[in-house]
Amino acid sequence: MKKRNSFTLIELLVVIAVLAGLMALLVPNFMQVRIKSRDMRRKNDLKGIQKALELYKLGQSIPIYPVSFTVCTPLVDGNSVVYMQKIPQDPSSQCNASPVSYYYLRDVSDSGKYTLCACLENINDPEGISCAGAPACSGTYYKLTEP
Burial of 60 per CB tally in 10 Å (0-12, 13-18, 19+): middle
pLDDT band per the 50, 70, 90 thresholds, residue 100:
low
Share of the chain above pLDDT 70, in %: 90
pLDDT at 26: 77
Total domains in the fold of the chain = 1
Longest alpha-carbon distance in the chain:
96
pLDDT band per the 50, 70, 90 thresholds, residue 48:
very high
CA 72, CA 81: separation in Å to the nearest integer? Answer: 17
pLDDT at 90: 87
pLDDT for 94 beyond 70: no
Q: Residue 116: inside a domain, yes or no? A: yes
Q: Could you say which DSSP state residue 24 is in?
A: H
Residue 141's domain comprises: 9-145
pLDDT band per the 50, 70, 90 thresholds, residue 128:
confident
pLDDT at 138: 72
Q: Residue 1: inside a domain, yes or no? A: no
Q: Residue 130: inside a domain, yes or no? A: yes
Between the alpha carbon of residue 75 and those of residues 1, 42, 85, 105, the distances in Å are 80, 18, 7, 15
pLDDT digits (tens, 9 = 90+) for 24-46: 887 777 888 888 999 999 999 99
Q: Residue 4: inside a domain, yes or no? A: no
